[in-house]
Structure 1
């Protein structure tokens, strides 16, 4: 395992393409990433995180244009994407091709999709394979001592010790400042619905769509 700087973007992208696991910083917290089409690598993440297979990893698209090649975007989904991407918003989107849904099973159908800012977004743009990502923490641990996903390198190391996951690269981004989730919107149907609140406020979503947004 190597700890690298954000300047070593190509090294991180090549590791993803090789089917390895890496951990990268975001403004929110550290994320564990791999090739979204590599079922074995994705399964390793599910197992290490104790994450239910029904709780999808995120598909990190390099751009809205690239996203539209694989997914169907309703009018409301496109409005949200244009307003908040790259950013801290994820959309549940239907695949254009059923074969893609099977190939990228780890990110679900509909797929949890985002265009991310910062290093994670640059990684997706530089990689020749699609990037799957999730937070660096054990799933479902909401006990009194649970501090949530890792926001420092020390917390990343603690997560790796607990999960027994092997990663090839950790990108050192210092301290992740916001320690909050992405907002998730279900855009599988024409009328978008709120799944989870996060850094993109519900009022901002409502203002973009010009209507109140109900929880799904």
Structure 2
């Protein structure tokens, strides 16, 4: 495992294309990334994180055009994508092709889709495979002493030791400032519903939709 800078994303992309794992900084926290179509790599992440069965990894699309190639975007989804992508918003979207859903089972059906800003978005554009990502932390620890996902390189190393995961590269982005979740909106249902609040505020979602969004 090597710590590299953001200027070395090509090496990180090649590692993911080869079935490896890479840890990337975002404005929120560090994320573990893998080839979304590589079942073994994704299963390794899910097992290492002790992530509940059926809780998907995020699918990080490189662009809205690429997202439309694989997923069906409702009018509401298109409005939210236009307002907040790239950004800290993920949408639950139906696959266009059922075979794609089968080949990318770790990101779910409907899939949890985002277009990320910064280094994570740059990596999604650099890789020649679909990118899956999730937070660098052990799932399910809600104790008062749980610090949440890693926001520093030292915390990334602690996560790797606790999870047993072996990352090919950690991209050093310093301290992640926000330490908060993406907002999730379900656009698979007839009417968009707010699944989880996060950095994109519920009021902003409602403003972009032109109507008060309901919670799922």
TM-score by length of 1: 0.99
Partner of 2:176: 176
Q: CA RMSD in A?
A: 0.5
Segments ≥4 residues shifted beyond 2 Å: none
SS of 1:177 mapped into structure 2: coil
Partner of 2:105: 105
How many residue pairs were aligned?
216
Return the offset for 1:113: 0.1
Return the offset for 1:189: 2.1
2:10 corresponds to 1:26: no
Partner of 2:43: 43
Return the offset for 1:166: 0.6
SS of 2:133 mapped into structure 1: strand
Gaps of 5+ in 1: none
Return the offset for 1:52: 1.4
In structure 2, C-alpha distance between the alignment counterparts of 1:196 and 1:52, rounded to whole Å? 17
SS of 1:184 mapped into structure 2: strand
Partner of 1:135: 135
Partner of 1:92: 92
Partner of 2:185: 185
Structure 1 residues 184-213: Cα deviation after superposition (integer angstroms, max 9, x where no partner): 000002311000000000000000001111
2:15 corresponds to 1:15: yes
In structure 1, C-alpha distance between the alignment counterparts of 2:185 and 2:91, rounded to whole Å? 5
Gaps of 5+ in 2: none
SS of 1:113 mapped into structure 2: strand
Partner of 2:159: 159
TM-score by length of 2: 0.99
Return the offset for 1:144: 1.3
In structure 2, C-alpha distance between the alignment counterparts of 1:158 and 1:12, rounded to whole Å? 20
SS of 1:8 mapped into structure 2: helix
After superposition, residues 63-74 of structure 1 pair within 5 angstroms as 63-74=63-74
SS of 2:7 mapped into structure 1: coil
In structure 2, C-alpha distance between the alignment counterparts of 1:210 and 1:174, rounded to whole Å? 38
